[in-house]
Amino acid sequence: MADWHKILVAVDDSSLSEQVLNYVGEVVGGIDKVEICLLHVYPEPPPYYFAEKHTLQEYREEKETASLKIFSRAGKVLESHAIAGTRITTSCLMATGKTFSKTILQVQKDGGFGTVVLGKRGISKAEEFLFGSVSNAVIRESHDFTVWVVS
């Protein structure tokens, strides 16, 4: 079983991410052994992106630049809960050829994270049926690690 002290937190630029980070900080803020990886997953570029003469490299750079702001804000939230910046790492990945949930699960597996923390989007049942829910998909596949879903 993976080490629960290794926590993978999926983040984006939403207010829900801030709630997730505050929750993580309140729960593990005083635990010295905790290591947190902030993960930002972004989609593949839309088809029109290339039609406008942009490159994949430009798209990646654009998304990675945006993720730096997300990680900076996230780090400040965690540090306000006494989680040292030295215990926080970051990862920014494009969901290439797979869903966000599959990307998160791959990072969890590769990194041996014992805890994955996600926000629960406020989507309707119809949207969930059509597009699926990232949190539900991760929960379905969580056989040897813990999932915290924050709403």
What domains are defined for the chain? 3-150 (3.40.50.620)
The helix/strand/coil state of 10 is: strand
pLDDT tops 90 at residue 24: yes
pLDDT digits (tens, 9 = 90+) for 66-120: 999 999 999 999 999 999 999 999 999 999 999 899 999 999 999 999 999 999 8
Task: Round to whole Å and give the CA distance between 134 and 140.
Answer: 10
Instruction: Compute φ and ψ for 13, nearest 5 degrees.
Output: -95, 20
Task: Round to whole Å and give the CA distance between 149 and 117.
Answer: 6
pLDDT tops 80 at residue 3: yes
Cβ burial of 97 (10 Å; 0-12, 13-18, 19+) is exposed
In whole angstroms, what separates CA 94 from the centre of its chain?
A: 12
Task: Round to whole Å and give the CA distance between 83 and 66.
Answer: 23
